[in-house]
Amino acid sequence: MFEYDKILKSLLNPNLNKQQLAKLIGTQSTQFTSERTKLKNNYSDEDLISAYTSFYFPTNALKLEFLVEHLSEQMKAEISKTHILDIGTGPGTYAFAASELFSGALSFTGVDESKLMIDQANKLNDEYFQNSKIGFSQTLPNVDDEPRTLIFGNSINEMGMPAAFKIIKRYNPKFIICIEPGTKDVFKDLLALRKKLLLIDYKIQYPCMGQGTCPLEGIDDWCHQSIKTSLDFELESLSQVAKLDRKVMPATIHFYALEHVEDKAGQARIIRLKKNVKHAFLWDVCDENNKSVTLEVPKKLFKKKVVKQLEEISSGISVRYTIDKELENSTVRVKTIEVEGIE
């Protein structure tokens, strides 16, 4: 989505080499996972901010691009009529991504409590994007009559669901985008937020096909997306030195619209690429009735070229299918199937 060499030139410290960046990224990765009490250390100096920006900024942005690929043209047009507010923007990750994906939007604002993150976002805009419609701040903007889209990008994970819901109530946005880590704990938070939003006239557009109770509620499981990507050569090289894979990115992505729901009759969403065995793919899907089922998809239904394409799909895409036979353990063998993005 972005020109990677221009990102590297616009870091707060553009003089860090690949090995230095990789070492700092390794420290940050540990803090994001096993040492979360030290999380704020990630934002403590220019070198750490630069390392974060070199690695997480261009890859996290791809998660918003993934979501937008699954929205209708009408929905994208409606979002483009709003002011897009990125909460917990970091170095401007989703503010900049949204400016590329919804270029006609009224304006873009990124908010982050870290001054160094805001400094980095401003430097990226001054030296690379040069977009006068984008602004950054450490404080939330005043409430006004502008229609808004709120983006929570890895921020509910840090602020907690109640704080995020308070911000939503403050702005009453037309659209809400949540892009959070693909973990079980985060899914529980977003499931709690989903319940609250459905009670105040929001409709979930993605990933759920229906507005009913999530079939994973109350059980030891979770729904998330595994996004498969291709990276710029230099970015992939950095990921290899840092020993962190960003070619497959787990994420928990939810998208809501106020009092609007699109017809998804006959569709189901792949929530887990369960197995790839010799004769078939096994995919867990959730349908329009919020019912979870495992599909056995025989490979003999497809040409070899299509089978290879199906081996590379991401979870989170939609399918339409007809049933050939009901098997054991809530599994059905499909007779025909259409997979989003595969012809």
b/e per residue 195-215 (b: at least 16 CB within 10 A): eebbeeebbbbbbbbbeeebb
Cα distance between residue 29 and residue 212, in whole Å: 36
- Residue pLDDT, tens place only, 198-255: 999 999 999 999 999 999 988 888 999 999 998 999 999 999 999 998 999 999 999 9
Give ranges for CATH 2.40.50.140 in the chain. Answer: 268-339
CB neighbour list of residue 130: distance below 8 Å, 6 or more residues apart: none
* Residue 339 pLDDT greater than 70, yes or no: yes
Write the CATH number of the domain with boundaries 4-258.
3.40.50.150
* Reported confidence tier of residue 44, pLDDT bands at 50, 70, 90: confident
Give ranges for CATH 3.40.50.150 in the chain. Answer: 4-258
CB neighbour list of residue 132: distance below 8 Å, 6 or more residues apart: none
* Reported confidence tier of residue 70, pLDDT bands at 50, 70, 90: very high
In this prediction, residue 29 carries a pLDDT of 81
**Which two three-digit tokens encode residue 192?**
């709690």
Does the domain at 268-339 match CATH 3.60.150.10? Answer given as: no
In this prediction, residue 343 carries a pLDDT of 79
In this prediction, residue 67 carries a pLDDT of 97
In this prediction, residue 39 carries a pLDDT of 57
* Reported confidence tier of residue 64, pLDDT bands at 50, 70, 90: very high
| DSSP code string of 266-331 | T-EEEEEEEEE-SSEEEEEEEETTS-EEEEEEEGGGS-HHHHHHHTTPPTT-EEEEEEEEE-STTE
Residues 202, 256 contacting (CB under 8 angstroms): yes
Upper half-sphere CA count for residue 209 (Cβ side, 13 Å): 22
**pTM for this model (two decimals):** 0.94
In this prediction, residue 42 carries a pLDDT of 61
- Residue pLDDT, tens place only, 23-35: 999 888 876 665 5
In this prediction, residue 258 carries a pLDDT of 92
- Residue pLDDT, tens place only, 94-121: 999 999 999 999 999 999 999 999 999 9
